[in-house]
Amino acid sequence: MEKEGLAMASPAKDISPDSMVERQSKRPAQLRNPWACSPYTIVATLLGFAVLLVMVQSFLTRQLDTKGCEMSYMRPAFAKFADFDTEHTRFASKYSLYLYREGGVDEDLRVKGVPVLFIPGNAGSYKQVRPLGGEAATHYHNVLRHDVTANKAGKRSLDFFTVDFNEDITAFHGQTLLDQAEYLNDAITFILSLYHTPARSERDPDLPDPTSVIIVGHSMGGVVARTMLTMPNYQSNSINTIITLSAPHARPPVSFDGDIVRTYKGVNDYWRHAYSQKWAIDNPLWHVTLISIAGGGLDTVVPSDYASLASLVPETHGFTVFTSSIPSVWTGMDHLAITWCDQVRKSIVRALYDVTDVSRPTQTLPRAERMRGFKKWFLTGLEDTAEKTLPHTEPKTLLTLEDNSNAIIPPGERLVLRSLGRTKQKPKPYLLPVPPQGEGKKRFTLLTNERLDSTGEHGKLEVLFCSVFPLQAGQSAALFSMNMDLSGDSSGSTRLACKNAAADVIALPSSTRESTFAFNTQGVAPFSYLQYELEDLAEHQFVAVVDKSGEHSTGWVVAEFSTSSESVYRVNMGLRRLLTTGLNMRLPARRSLTTEVKIPALHSSLLAYKLHIGKQACDMGELFAPLLRQYITDVHESKFFVNVKDADINLHGVAPYMPPPFLAKQPSNGLSLQLWSDPTCDSSVEITLRVDLLGSMGKLWMRYRIVFAAFPLLVVALVLRQQFRVYDETGVFMSFAEGLNECVLSSLPFALAALTFLSIALVGAQRQTPSVAQRSLKGTGSNVTDLFDYTNHELLLGSEDTFFCFLVPVFGLMCIGICVVVNYVALGITSTLALLYSVLRSSSSQNDEAKRTPGAFAVTSTRQRLITTCILLSLVSTVIPYHFAYMVLCIVQIATCVRGYRLASDTRLDTNYNFYNYAHSILILMLWILPINLPVLVVWVRNLAVHWLTPFSSHHNILSIMPFIMLVETLSTGRMVPRVQSRFHLFTNVLLFSLAAYAAVYGVTYAYVLHHLANILCAWLVILHFDASSFSAKQISTILETIDPDSNVKKRP
């Protein structure tokens, strides 16, 4: 009667003794050669590394933004709240709360103003609050406390609090992120209680006690801030304003920890669900504003694409902006510089003061007013959605002119003042008639190198929008705060009711022939720019430009009304045509002050470009040098190029793996170029745009770094599949190198081709999601469609364009080369250690016969191994994370390979080579899984350093490591896996194919799952080792007996 169970060709066997020398493999010796390398593999490796080196070189040297941050200075002082102890939070022994004070400015430790909490990021320090805290104290001390209007508006000092997380690593560990969020909610409760305690507060008793705290978070601190609102201990409405700096909101930086992936998903789903509610009463985040500030291309720690809020928050409650867009900043910055950059901290502090109001319990203005203030300080003002104050203000200036004044510019003509102050007497007005409504889509633009005066100021230039005022005596004094009478002694006069336009001035970097960078503003005043659509000027008849300069100056003004057909060019070319031929266009000599070129097809963050703008001839002398603004509207990214001739163009547009927008929108507007050029030169300008192929290669590194941790497992799994297939058929377990040689010519090309077609199919599916999302929003909403909408981008390479499907074989080629190098490095280490082992254990101490026996491999008895395994599993379940055990197993497996290599080299037996090749391939698999486990291990070691011993439940699951332990322990005895010649060999194929497919399709987004898939594979291999036909009750009893005296216990190498 046949035995039930797995049908094996033979039971598991130990390393063969001399009696098996006769059974030599009939396959060529090349199969067992661990150093085998075919010409095809060499070519693939060289090509892969050539592409990888070009990518790295491009990332380091090409398309780099210029660093323009100025250093900030402060005199910090910190006060620790020792009474924020275990009575308030269970994390008091691990974390600490501090109050920041600026030395020499505000050293009073009592709270007195608006509470602001700074949250450091991944491995960040609580001392990173110093630049913001110092600037806030200095600005209030030097400016606001002397401003009566500001005090009446509720402006008080900012009390900056900060937390010491002992440089916790939150980017790799979801539970740490949740712990910090819980601690911070407790800290907010404590902070608010300080303002209720008279002994610790110096606030005006007539003011209401604060009920909310403003949050500023850097890096992962911004993600922690959003997580706080989802925690059970969150106090409702205690947070309504969040500003984040370089925070990866859209997706986790790495996916090696399952907790961080699930936490991100839970938090982002909560925010999306809240803002999808129809009624404000159902939205717990209705009063919350969220501003995400990104550093741009200089941030090489976290891709700035991840800072986008487009998939999380509607534009009414938040937006994403890049530092290169912020007025008077105009520069990108790296991940750490964004916390200390002087220009950025000034903008953030002034924005915070602008939205605070201590007369309200929330300490802030209502949401709509907060959003208006943040847009004023952080956006350029050139956006289509920019709010203009002019239509919402009342006329405050009465302008009186002579009836026979010749200062009216004929309709359709441009006002050009090449120098101000020519009259040297009284102010000189110039009037531009406002065209009638309905004359096409027109726009008013004005550019000057002078500052525009507000009402009542006495500078050089003032711009007013006026309408005819009825001649009724006695009304001017009652209705207007400013009376500008320029009529002289003339008997006849015209009176105009005017609004001042200074509040809508847009600051632009000064651009002259001496200018180098937009951020070089020291000693040079920025340009002042006005831009209004004709609809904004419906109630006005004239634009009055008043030259108030008392002496001749170098100030100039250009103002005009232009139509869209004159100023906006839309390039309707496809991406492939733009890539092959580029863009060549010539702007006409008679053109408007500002010209926009919109290229919708160029929206990918993976491509970079070279722009050239030809020099224009100017007979009368140039008023200013060409000024270029490169921008995209989705995330408010603008870059300014002064005195532009040649420019590197790169953007953070549509990026891989990024979720779709929160609400269904129109397709991306793509790249836009806005050019200000001197229209008085009467000279055409040539614009040339070309794709920078080498510069684009560097953009792949930041977006696809995790691919190099996931894609190689596709190669490893397919090689293992080939090894097991040949072994089950022939009994020869080929080397990893030879298996890779065969896969390069067989399974790998087919796999990469199939994945390429899959990526094309996924792009087609993604193009259907906007309409699906819109239908779900119009109806009752479907969880299924929402799930599809927000997960489809996570697959494979996450691209939304079929053009980039060629990246699948390109990354496959690079990963083949990396796998080849890792394999030979492991071989080199193994052979070197084996040589050292042989030298240390000289052959004189052993006879040749002993090398060929099972005792040569049995370093410990079965009973000892069983006890060791039980101890290790018990430690994993209680004290150490399984990630630590995994690292130990990798070391043990290296030792096994060293002994296997030595034995195979000494005996030259096929069976011993089979075992070594098998053990080495398992080692290669484990080495590629190791990076997934290291980040959590680093977190655990970090917690030990701060004496935090509370275990994390998700890291003590013994089932996540037991198969690895059992397989490594089995291999340490020298036992070879049996051949499987029944249908069950298909199960091995399925497991390895599943591992390969998952690594390619989901590996980047869910890398942590790869450990568990490899764990399942190990469990199957353990079953093959201990199948029913070779594992009996007699063997179980043997394990429990005392150690056999004949078994020699040896030390591991």
- In tens, the pLDDT along 510-554 reads 999 888 999 987 778 899 999 999 988 988 999 999 988 878 888
Tokens of 879: 């004290």
- In tens, the pLDDT along 239-268 reads 999 999 999 999 999 999 999 999 999 999
pLDDT at 1029: 40
- Find the mean pLDDT for residues 447-473: 85
Spell out the domains of the chain, with CATH numbers in brackets: 18-60+704-1040 (no CATH), 76-378 (3.40.50.1820), 390-563 (no CATH), 571-691 (2.60.120)
Q: Who's near 483: CB < 8 A, 6+ residues apart? A: 397, 398, 400, 476, 477
Q: b vs e for 970-990, b when ≥16 Cβ sit within 10 Å of the residue's Cβ?
A: bbbbbbbbbbbeeebbeebee
| 764 has pLDDT over 90 | no
pLDDT at 668: 65
Position 480 confidence tier, pLDDT thresholds 50, 70, 90? confident
- In tens, the pLDDT along 413-426 reads 999 998 887 766 67
The sheet with strand 482-485 has its strands ordered as: 428-433, 542-547, 461-468, 493-500, 397-402, 482-485
| 854 has pLDDT over 60 | no
DSSP string, 132-162: HHHHHHHHHHHTGGG-HHHHHTT---EEEEE
Kindly report the number of other CB atoms within 10 A of residue 85's CB atom. 11
The SS3 call for residue 579 is helix
- In tens, the pLDDT along 772-797 reads 334 444 444 444 334 445 567 888 88
- Find the mean pLDDT for residues 657-682: 82
Q: Cα–Cα distance between 505 and 981 in angstroms, integer?
A: 80
Position 487 confidence tier, pLDDT thresholds 50, 70, 90? confident
pLDDT at 282: 92
- In tens, the pLDDT along 358-384 reads 999 999 999 999 999 999 999 999 998
Position 667 confidence tier, pLDDT thresholds 50, 70, 90? low
pLDDT at 823: 95
DSSP string, 923-939: HHHHHHHHHHHHHHHHH
> What one-character DSSP code corresponds to residue 297?
T
Helix or strand run (H / E) with residue 339: helix 337-340
Residue among 427, 530, 992, 498 at smallest CA distance from 727: 992
Kindly report the number of other CB atoms within 10 A of residue 276's CB atom. 16
> What one-character DSSP code corresponds to residue 841?
S
- The count of residues in the chain is 1053
| 491 has pLDDT over 70 | no
- Find the mean pLDDT for residues 22-28: 44
pLDDT at 18: 43
Position 861 confidence tier, pLDDT thresholds 50, 70, 90? low
> Looking at 746-892, which runs of residues are DSSP E strands?
none
> Considering the chain, what is the average pLDDT of its residues?
86
- Find the mean pLDDT for residues 660-688: 83
Tokens of 1003: 């590996």
- In tens, the pLDDT along 184-197 reads 999 999 999 999 88
Whole-angstrom CA distances from 176 to 167, 182, 249, 942, 954 are: 11, 10, 17, 11, 12
Lowest-confidence pick of 150-154, 159-163, 666-670, 1037-1041: 1037-1041
| 30 has pLDDT over 80 | no
- In tens, the pLDDT along 323-341 reads 999 999 999 999 999 999 9
Contact 712, 819 (CB under 8 A): yes
Tokens of 277: 């509610």
Tokens of 628: 């270029």
| pTM of the full structure | 0.90
pLDDT at 347: 96
| 612 has pLDDT over 50 | yes
- Find the mean pLDDT for residues 760-765: 81
Residue that is written with structure tokens 């507000």 in the block: 454
- Find the mean pLDDT for residues 645-654: 94
844 vs 217: which has the higher pLDDT: 217
Catalytic residues: 219
CB-neighbour burial class of residue 1020 (10 A; exposed 0-12, middle 13-18, buried 19+): middle
Report the amino acid identity of residue 501: A
Q: Cα–Cα distance between 432 and 540 in angstroms, integer?
A: 11
- In tens, the pLDDT along 297-313 reads 999 999 999 999 999 99
